[in-house]
Structure 1
Amino acid sequence: MNLKVRFKNPIFWAQIVLAILTPILAYAGLTAQDLTSWKALGDLLVGALSNPYVLGLVVVSVWNALNDPTTKGVGDSGQALTYTEPK
């Protein structure tokens, strides 16, 4: 995977943040509007770290954000591997 280029793309970071937060919020039965303080967010994340089921959901969600389903296997296409900047 051409992670060096992906790290330069703000859309990639939005995908990763959502891939982490969405399953946690869904499991807790919350919405983003329910997180009204940093303490609430911290408590939610600590609770998620102590729950293997939620961690599994997060891993699958992050995998889906990283994997390119348009290529064979788990890597990027040959063309995408030549990029030095997001296209």
Structure 2
Amino acid sequence: MGINWKVRFKHRSFWISLIALISIFLNQVASIFNIDVTLFNAQFTELAETILMILVFLGVIVDPTTHGIKDSDQALTYTTPKKKG
């Protein structure tokens, strides 16, 4: 099960999701050490984290071999993962 990192690094949604993931991770680490990184208030921070999690989710489900965030027409016809030929 290989990952084509070269293609992923060229895809905008990969970088957006990676930055969002790192932001959420750093916030969680800060809370472990009782460091308050609340921007305005707790509700705003929770909303920001929710939005970042959605961006991470989109980065996980996106097909990096296509332009945009949709799957290719060929990938939409698969019922099981494509096997190497």
| TM bin (shorter chain) | 0.3 to 0.5
Compare relative contact order (CA 8 Å, sep 6+) and give the higher one, 1 or 2. 1
Structure with bigger gyration radius:
2
